Amino acid sequence: MDQAAPIPTVPVSVPPALRARVGGRSKVTAAGRTIRELIDALDQQFPGLRFNLCYETGELRPYVNIFLGHENIRYLQGLDTPLSPGTTVAILPSVAGG
């Protein structure tokens, strides 16, 4: 009988604007099969972080980018992008503003 694959734990880079939320750290770790699950896990650790990243309706805020390695998840499967062991995730704000 196959055993269920363990849920990967991945490192997540946090931009300066959100480090106060995560105790001042530039990197945190959390577990999830997808980016969506990862965000949920991060929100459990750091309440309020989901609202920093996503609207109440669940979609990613327009100026928030999440990278899986070097790939922006917007060009993968979005919040349903799967995670695997050894991957890295980075949260980055868009180069925008004025």
Partner 1 sequence: MFRRSEYPQGSVLLVVGTKRGLFLISSVDRQSWNIQGPMLKGHRTFYGILDQRKGARLFAADNGDFFGPFLRYSDDFGANWHEPEHGLQFPEQSGEKLAAIWTIEPGRQAEPDVVYAGVDPASLWISTDGGLNWELNAGLATHPTRARWEPGAGGLCLHSIVPDYANASRIWVAISAVGCLRSDDAGKTWTFANKNVRADFLPVKYPEFGQCVHRLIQHPRRPEILYQQNHCGIYKSTNSGDDWTDIQHNLPSEFGFPIALDPHHPETLYVVVEDAEARQNVGEQFTVYRSDNAGEQWERLTNGLPAGTGVGLGVLRHALCTDIKDPCGVYVGTTTGQLFASSDQGDGWRLIAEYLPSIYSLTAAVLM
Which residue's structure tokens are 């060009």? 75
Nearer to partner 1, 55 or 71 (CB): 55
Judged by CB under 8 A, the residue of 7, 64, 76, 90 near partner 1 is 64
Q: Which range binds partner 1 by CB under 8 A, 4-12, 34-42, 59-67, 81-89?
A: 59-67
Residue 71 contacts partner 1 per CB under 8 A: no
Q: What is the C-alpha to C-alpha distance for residues 92 and 94, in angstroms, rounded to an integer?
A: 6
- The Cα 58–Cα 1 span in angstroms is 36
| Min separation Cβ 3 and partner 1, Å | 34
Give 3-state DSSP helix, strand, coil % of the chain, rounded to 5.
Answer: 25, 25, 50
CA distance 47 to 2: 35
Closest approach, Cβ 55 to partner 1, in A, equals 4
Closer of 51 and 84 to partner 1 (Cβ): 51
24 binds partner 1 (CB under 8 A): no
